[in-house]
Amino acid sequence: MIQNFPIITKLEEWKKLIYHFDRIKDIHLKEYFSEDIKRGKNFSVENEDLYFDFSKNFVNKETIGLLISLADRMELRKKINNMFSGAKINFSEGKAALHTALRNFSDNPVVVDGVDVMPEIIKMRERMKVISERIRSGTWRGFSGKRIKNIINIGIGGSDLGPRFVCNALRWYSDRDINVRFVSNMDGTDLSESLLGLSPEETLFIIASKTFTTSETMTNAKSAKEWLKNSVGNSKFISNHFIAITSNTELASKFGILKGNILKMWDWVGGRYSISSSIGLTIMILIGFDSYILFLKGLYKVDEHFKNSPFNMNIPVLMALLGMWYNNFFNFNSYAVIPYDQYLEDFPVYLQQCDMESNGKSVTIKGERINYHTCPVVWGGVGTNCQHAFFQMLHQGSRIVPVDFIGFANSLNEIGNHHKKLMSNLFAQSKALAFGRTEQELIGTGIKDDQVPFRMSLGNRPSNSFIFKKLSPLTLGMLIALYEHKIFTQGVIWNINSFDQWGVELGKEISNEIFDNLNTADHIRKTDDDSSTSGLINFFISSQNSE
């Protein structure tokens, strides 16, 4: 049942936050720390493998209490339970959003439409294990009898960004004899470059598409099929070189893929939350079944923390409330995610889909137009590289951007003192953003007076810091789940549906119409497009093969 909450800006809890914001908005972070010498400890949460410090934020205990009161008013605890229990919280599509069931290690059933889905999930995981171990052991052979060395994952969105990110993040744990590449872009360059130098007889394609109709994915899949066919001269090899991950087994079979090579995707798992489904097959092939299970257990560990912890000690809830506080009251319209680990270089890109496709909405779950901002823009980059790129703006720019710093106490690749230097930078950047450097601090340092204005940093730039003990399959799963549940919590607060993505569809529909026109010889005479689109298309057509 859809709850009929009033617009959140009319809630008494919201009005109290406005009053509180007016009272504290001009307090500098320096003041917060001078008033509470134990602020770092008082505004942090330690959870075995993770230390989460949110002390460098524009909040005091009263702020946190008021934000939690808003979450309570929006029935966050009830909605968390609804998600985990399989309720159809994706209202616009009439579906559950049950990605948490895919990494459930409890003995409790998870029921969707009266059926416990756990036995089927476990069965699918075992099928993934059999396939991955056949490939890793060399038992799976190509059409010529050679073992498979190359895995090409063809998908887009959640069928690409998730496995791509995790495979790169866990390279240290991978089988280096297996070469994994990802193809997502419809641009032929993506597929061409990915196939460059590969032997067809040693290459296996994983086609990941829930409907098996996704335009980008199927365009690339058909071209991959032609690439193999041109090498062999017939289509009998398909069973050796293609696996499908889809809910449309009929279309996958028509493509030429054996039933035994088709893994199921469930309708109640959204693409951007599908990393722990059969979409994770590429990951399992690369790092092995045992490491993949540890990855799932990391996700599950945070699921349990999110489901059971009080909100004032609940890391995803605190992340969400702080983000909402900045987005809706301070009008900070973006946040940056900066992992200080090269293996996590794809994390900001992965989060862009997870966050902005989920919460980039402007109507409530009742379909009513909202009068407040929802999802901020997510961006970022990796470690010290960013410090020599956009950190100038973060420190001295006219816009304030909250930052999430992510680091690890131990490096997977210990070389000299590299890691201590790296982490020194993380700690220093969060400190510099918070406290800055004043005019008084610069005087007497030998800096010329006329340079002082340029060297000052006002500080008072908020950030969170996440320090894990070590990057591992377990902690990577934890990291992903923290942000998943943060995003869900913000969707609850904003009273929107975080699990549909209808905005993606319009461009697809128009693209299909235009593609038909591009294949029409007399397009210039018959087009009924607007003058801008028509001009662009006409120039494109007239310029093709003109040189």
Residue type, 219: T
Q: Domain for residue 382, yes or no?
A: yes
Looking at the fold, whether 152 and 223 belong to one and the same domain comes out as yes
Domain of 534, in residue numbers? 503-543
CB-CB contact of 173 with 287 (8 Å): yes
Separation between Cα atoms, residue 154 and residue 103, nearest integer Å: 24
CB-CB contact of 161 with 272 (8 Å): yes
Separation between Cα atoms, residue 433 and residue 391, nearest integer Å: 10
Residue from 388, 448, 509, 526 carrying the catalytic annotation? 388
Looking at the fold, whether 535 and 466 belong to one and the same domain comes out as no
Looking at the fold, whether 17 and 145 belong to one and the same domain comes out as no
Separation between Cα atoms, residue 42 and residue 217, nearest integer Å: 49
Please list the pLDDT of the chain residue by residue as tens digits (547 residues): 455 666 899 999 999 999 999 999 999 999 999 999 999 999 999 988 999 999 999 999 999 999 999 999 999 999 999 999 999 999 888 898 999 999 999 999 999 889 999 999 999 999 999 999 999 999 999 988 999 999 999 999 999 999 999 999 999 999 999 999 999 999 999 999 999 999 999 999 999 999 999 999 999 999 999 999 888 766 667 788 999 999 999 999 999 999 999 999 998 998 899 999 999 999 999 999 999 999 999 999 999 999 999 999 999 999 999 999 999 999 999 999 999 999 999 999 999 999 999 999 999 999 999 999 999 999 999 999 999 999 999 999 999 999 999 999 999 999 999 999 999 999 999 999 999 998 888 877 878 878 888 888 899 999 999 999 999 999 999 999 999 999 999 999 999 999 998 888 888 888 888 887 777 655 444 456 788 888 888 888 888 765 5
| pLDDT at residue 525 in the model | 42
| pLDDT at residue 523 in the model | 47
| pLDDT at residue 44 in the model | 98
Q: Domain for residue 257, yes or no?
A: yes
Separation between Cα atoms, residue 70 and residue 59, nearest integer Å: 15
Looking at the fold, whether 489 and 507 belong to one and the same domain comes out as no
CB-CB contact of 170 with 295 (8 Å): yes
In sequence order, what are the residues at sequence separation of 6 or more whose Cβ sits closer than 8 angstroms to the Cβ of residue 482?
A: 302, 315, 316, 319, 466
Looking at the fold, whether 376 and 481 belong to one and the same domain comes out as yes
Residue from 305, 357, 361, 419 carrying the catalytic annotation? 357
pTM of the complete model: 0.95
Looking at the fold, whether 121 and 229 belong to one and the same domain comes out as yes
Q: Domain for residue 226, yes or no?
A: yes
Is 78 tagged catalytic? no
Is 388 tagged catalytic? yes
Q: Domain for residue 80, yes or no?
A: no
| pLDDT at residue 528 in the model | 64
Q: Domain for residue 79, yes or no?
A: no
Could you tell me the two tokens for 199? 């032997």
Q: Domain for residue 82, yes or no?
A: no
Give the CATH number of the domain where residue 263 resides. Answer: 3.40.50.10490
CB-CB contact of 489 with 317 (8 Å): yes
Residue from 10, 146, 421, 508 carrying the catalytic annotation? 508
Looking at the fold, whether 337 and 457 belong to one and the same domain comes out as yes
The total number of structural domains that make up the chain: 3
Is 241 tagged catalytic? no
CB-CB contact of 368 with 436 (8 Å): no
Q: Which of 307, 276, 308 minimizes the C-alpha distance to 293?
A: 276
Looking at the fold, whether 199 and 272 belong to one and the same domain comes out as yes
